[in-house]
Amino acid sequence: MGRENNYVIGQGKTALVIDGKDNVGIALVDIDAGETCIVRLEEKEITMKVLDHIPFGHKFALTSIKKDDPVFKYGEEIGKMSTAVEKGAWVHSHNMYCERGMK
């Protein structure tokens, strides 16, 4: 799988998706709320609407994620959701937590 297949493309906006386990995309530019994107990962394409403004470098949900479900970025679990989010929602410290180093 080449990296050229791992981008979210919509209205000139792009976001990075590295691994098939990832349930978040990473914005490579600011993406405005309401923009429609095509998510490409391996052979699969998903059309989705981004629900919130996603600043450069921030995450957004590729699928709905339930409260306490893990968040995967770059193929690794980086935390869990403190609240449920819908597909296209901004995922950041306001709605996720990490237990690493807390125990």
The pTM is what? 0.84
According to DSSP, the residues that pair with 68 across neighbouring strands are none
Domain residues of the chain, as ranges?
Answer: 3-97
Q: What is the mean pLDDT of each run of 10 residues along the chain (103 residues)?
A: 50 76 90 84 78 95 96 95 97 90 60
CATH architecture assignment, domain 3-97:
Roll (2.30)
Residue showing tokens 């976001």: 15
Lookup: tokens for 89 = 């929602």
Pick from 63, 67, 77, 60: which is nearest to 15 by CA? 60
pLDDT at 3: 44
pLDDT at 55: 94
